[in-house]
Structure 1
């Protein structure tokens, strides 16, 4: 079963602490995560969390969060990612991300994938207007809105059968690729890029050029690895980069937003 780095997980968006206690804004570092009474000492000692750990956290946070806001850089660069809408968009390791609803409200068909069922239950609890049904699948469970335009698969991302998700015009990967444990990363990349149409575009948030990983510091993935695993046959464009070294108390760590697009 895939595991994830617990300080670089799949929550999207940039709301303040009152909006969400698990938002993936790496510029803020790790300190802001300890003020909410959600992170017990035993969990914080673990480098990687399994799905049971994440379900435990989401159960605790159920009464402490609001809908949040869509990811700032997604809003900024959506025209580059989706030059034509409506489109079919994949959001892997989506958590309860506000990006799902924001993309859906723009008329797109949005498909999320999440391992922790509590996160998906919380998302639909926060959006009661999204009437939905559930369906058991051989590899997990599917939550689907009445109009079919918003779907969230609950399953282990590394165990998704080929072709089960369909194909997509775009992928929004906010920290998911980086959150996946290193041994599972190639399989994750194979599944996600395999679902992207040849003409599709891939939006990635990733940390890089950091020190050897210790404690809660996010995984740091070299650009060469990013290109080889996610960008074969595609143009890789760095949209912006932020120095987040001080926030994580290390000598070097950067956070970048990248767009992979067709060569022609």
Structure 2
């Protein structure tokens, strides 16, 4: 991962990828994971997303991972949540932020997600991936997106996921623009075939639906459900 790239993005108080209200696909489809009250939800590359507040309001504990400390600090300060900060006991470069909202725990690990272990995050009952998969490039030689998929599977022991993805609205763009969107990012456009390729060995992969969109919209926000095969 490139800390300098994301540090620059978070210098803008309202980065383009931040949403001012909870994601509609989250509100529509998260219940499809059928979680028990007080379940623990992992939110990778969480930024300062207020989707975490929505999850806490539904009665879930939230465990987040975010590369940039300032994004986490903004989340707690902008939402007036009293927080504590501790150093990771085995990783001096990682801070752990913790607070309470709507009576539920919100804990965010600020550091490289690839340096987290299952012991760090504890038992995870579900994953909400709003902007993590689409933030990862998948170019050789690192194939970072594939590494990310496997890391989340390892961290959460194949917990069910609500995955949000961007698809291209091909009629709204010419061929050059379409190729640019497929290759450029973040956010990156991840094809349906790629999603099946990344996840089908571990999960049953199901397309749930997508946001309403205008003919001129270039990107379409989609929701997928990933359920453990076993």
- TM-score of the aligned structures, taking structure 1 as reference length: 0.68
Q: Secondary structure at the match of 2:95?
A: strand
In the alignment, what sits opposite 1:142?
Answer: 96
Which residue in the other structure is 1:59 paired with? 11
Q: Which has the higher contact order (CA 8 A, sep 6+)?
A: 1
Change (3 A) 1:241 1:104: closer
Using the size of structure 2 for normalisation, the TM-score is 0.77
Write the distance in 2 (CA, Å) between the matches of 1:82 and 1:140.
Answer: 32
1:96-135 maps to which residues of 2 (within 5 A)? 96-128=48-80, 130-135=81-86
Runs of 4 or more consecutive aligned structure 1 residues displaced over 6 Å after TM superposition? none
Q: Does structure 1 residue 246 correspond to structure 2 residue 212?
A: no
Which stretch of the first structure deviates more once superposed, 176-185 or 155-164? 155-164
Match of residue 163 from structure 2: 204
Aligned to 1:257: 223
Q: How far apart, CA to CA, are the structure 2 residues paired with 1:190 and 1:60?
A: 31
Report 1:42-191 matches (<5 A): 50-61=2-13, 68-128=20-80, 130-137=81-88, 138=91, 140-145=94-99, 149-161=105-117, 163-182=119-138, 183-191=143-151
Given that residues 245 and 254 in structure 1 are in contact (C-alpha distance below 8 angstroms), is that contact kept between their aligned partners in structure 2? no
Count of residue pairs brought into register by the alignment: 207
Q: 1:102 to 1:148 in 2, by over 3 A?
A: closer
Contact persistence 1:239–1:258 (CA under 8 A): yes
Q: By how many angstroms is 1:60 displaced? A: 3.3
Structure 1 match to 2:173: none
1:237 aligns with 2:206: yes
Q: CA deviation at 1:162?
A: 5.0
- Aligned-pair CA distance for 1:217: 7.6
Aligned partner of 1:9 in structure 2 is: none
Give the secondary-structure state (helix, strand or coil) at the position aligned to 1:86: coil
Q: Distance in 2 between matches of 1:135 and 1:141?
A: 6
**Is contact 2:136-2:186 (8 Å) kept?**
no
The gaps in structure 1 that reach 5 residues or longer are 3-49
Q: Over the residues paired in the alignment, what is the CA RMSD in angstroms?
A: 2.8
